[in-house]
Amino acid sequence: MKIRSLATLLLIAALVFVLPAFAQQNSTSSAQPAASSNPSAAQPAPRQDFWDGDEPGVGWLILHPFASKEYVRRHVEPIRDQLNELEELTASSTKATRDVDARAQQGIQMVSAKTSLADQHAQDAANKAQMAHQTVASLDTRLATDESVVSNIDQFKSAQQTEIRFRPGQTVLSKQAKDALDEMATPLKGQHGYVIEVQGFSSGQGQTAIASSRRMADSVERYLVLNREIPAYRIYVVGMGNVPAAQHATGTRVEVSVMKNDLDQTAKQ
């Protein structure tokens, strides 16, 4: 079997190489008489390979199965140029795509950063708004308290009364008068929201009685400021002269009244 296959291959090879040579020899011998009869055709035409044509015949394809380099080059070169151009276009498109992608990623990052910053600003604004709301609520509460305090500032109520007796024409405090003033002033130390009203009454008539009553009231004020450390701005002194009192008390005397409001209790809350 192997010998038969080998013989077949040898026969095919012989046909491939012998038949073209034989065909060329016949064409040469048939062309020589024509050349002798026609001197102008004495010069043989240049040999042209069958592959130089664009459309080789079937017989030539069987007898000449191998293409020449020139034929291959002429048909492959345009394809190679197109491939190169396609590769350049592909590379350019790839580069452009990468550039667009890079710019898109950069834009996305910038937008994300700005969005985060805007969210942070919004959160800060919300926190400040919350703080402002709390401050307003606190101010409203404080304002209501202050309004209550202000409304109660001049709402004084009589808390304690003391009467100091004087002999006619005298302004010196007796020991009994001092003890009474000490008993009244001791609880007032460190307190707020009070005033002391000192009214002097004296016998006599007109300005003489008023001046005498004022001197007695001044002696009481002086003792409270110097000895009991009562602020002078909390003491109000009035010389009443011989004005009839609402009570039935009469004679030369000084009436000391402690007046309080709710300011001290409000300040302690």
Whether CATH 3.30.1330.60 fits 156-268? yes
> What confidence category does residue 32 fall into, taking pLDDT thresholds of 50, 70 and 90?
very low
231-237, Cβ contacts within 8 angstroms, sequence gap of 24 or more: 234/194, 234/195, 234/196, 235/195, 235/196, 235/198, 236/195, 236/196, 236/197, 236/198, 237/198, 237/200
Low-confidence winner among 41-50, 180-189, 239-248, 255-264 (lowest mean pLDDT): 41-50
Q: What are phi and psi of 235, to 5 degrees?
A: -110, 130
Q: Which residue has the tokens 């009454």?
A: 201
> What confidence category does residue 21 fall into, taking pLDDT thresholds of 50, 70 and 90?
very low
- Is 70 exceeded by the pLDDT of residue 27? no
pLDDT tens-digit map of 219-243: 999 999 999 999 999 999 998 888 7
Per the CB < 8 A criterion, the answer to whether 254 and 217 are in contact is yes
Could you tell me the residue ranges of all domains in the chain? 67-153, 156-268
> What confidence category does residue 95 fall into, taking pLDDT thresholds of 50, 70 and 90?
confident
Q: Which residue has the higher pLDDT, 186 or 34?
A: 186
DSSP 8-state symbol, 42:
-
DSSP 206-231: HHHHHHHHHHHHHHHHHHHHHHS---
3-state secondary structure of 15: helix
DSSP 8-state symbol, 39:
G
pTM, rounded to two decimals: 0.43
Per the CB < 8 A criterion, the answer to whether 164 and 220 are in contact is yes
Query: What whole-number distance in Å separates Cα of residue 240 and Cα of residue 1?
Result: 163
